[in-house]
Amino acid sequence: MDYSIKDVILLLHPVLAVIVVFPLIGIVVNRALQVRQRRQQTVGEGKSKISPVVGQEHVQLGRWLSGSVVGVNLVALANEIFGNIVDHQVWKKAPFQVVLIGLMFAATIVTFALLYRVQDRRWRGIFATLSGMGLVILGYQHGVYRNTDHWYMSHYFYGTTASLLMIFSLAILRDIYQDRTNRWRNVHITLNSFAVILFLGQGITGTQALLEIPLAWQEPYLNELSKQKCNIQPCTIQAAPSLPAKH
């Protein structure tokens, strides 16, 4: 197998998404439906056969889900941003920019971790805003494939929006319980039903991305194919002298 370290690092993000994030989505959505059904039965019939534990399970696993979604998002961004820094040797031209990007990653992770700890409403708002801003600013660095022309089918835009919705869920967690009018509960249901659709989109656009990204050794050949427009005219592709020939 001709896998280089670059290919292995690239696979880290999809592997974590498939093994950790998506199973969690399954359980969290299942518990969400049970919480809702239980609440409706309790209001309507005064009792329900569904265990009250489903609420706790939804929230506990929901907290893990938020962390894992933001985590895989940061892994993907780190791969693209630091990959670009290595490819273009950015630290030689703009070392300060590299340090700033490193600090931005650190600030995003720290403010996101603090969001789990703080109770006060104001601090929840502040840390949710800061960690969300961190994600968005990192997403605008060189190397990140945003596919802005096709934003309606963009893995980046779906992923960032879903991550922001997970951060928001953490921020309003207490308000869902405290609010007697169910306003925050309904806001939560509406936004996170949308998040589920975005997650489905991530499954589709992510596998699509895997299909489109070549292995590291294939990349120079593919670049040559598009440079010579091999899709519309005959062309010859040869192994570059610096590349070991593949058979």
**Minimum CB distance to ligand HEM smaller for 95 or for 214:** 214
Whether 126 and 92 have beta carbons less than 8 Å apart is answered as no
**Minimum CB distance to ligand HEM smaller for 125 or for 228:** 125
b/e for 92-116, b at 16 or more Cβ within 10 A?
eeeeeebeebeebbebbeebbebbe
Minimum CB separation of residue 122 from ligand HEM in Å reads 19
Applying CB under 6 A, the residues found at the interface with ligand HEM are: 10, 13-14, 17-18, 21, 25, 28-29, 32, 35-36, 39, 55, 58-59, 62-63, 65-66, 69, 72-73, 76-77, 79-80, 144-145, 155-156, 159-160, 162-163, 166, 169-170, 173, 176, 185, 188-189, 192-193, 195-196, 199, 202-203, 206-207, 209-210, 213
Minimum CB separation of residue 82 from ligand HEM in Å reads 10
Minimum CB separation of residue 38 from ligand HEM in Å reads 8
**Minimum CB distance to ligand HEM smaller for 59 or for 126:** 59
> How many angstroms separate the CA atoms of 100 and 96, rounded?
6
Q: Of 53, 52, 32, give the one whose Cα is nearest residue 42.
A: 52
**Minimum CB distance to ligand HEM smaller for 69 or for 104:** 69
Q: Give the chain's length.
A: 247
DSSP 215: P
Minimum CB separation of residue 209 from ligand HEM in Å reads 4
| Residue nearest ligand HEM (C-beta atom) | 206
Minimum CB separation of residue 160 from ligand HEM in Å reads 6
> How many angstroms separate the CA atoms of 113 and 43, rounded?
36
The owner of tokens 């994030």 is 21
Whether 76 and 159 have beta carbons less than 8 Å apart is answered as yes
DSSP 220-247: HHHHHHHHTTTTTS-------TTSPP--
Quick one: tokens of 114? 């603090």
**Minimum CB distance to ligand HEM smaller for 4 or for 207:** 207
**Minimum CB distance to ligand HEM smaller for 187 or for 230:** 187
Minimum CB separation of residue 219 from ligand HEM in Å reads 12
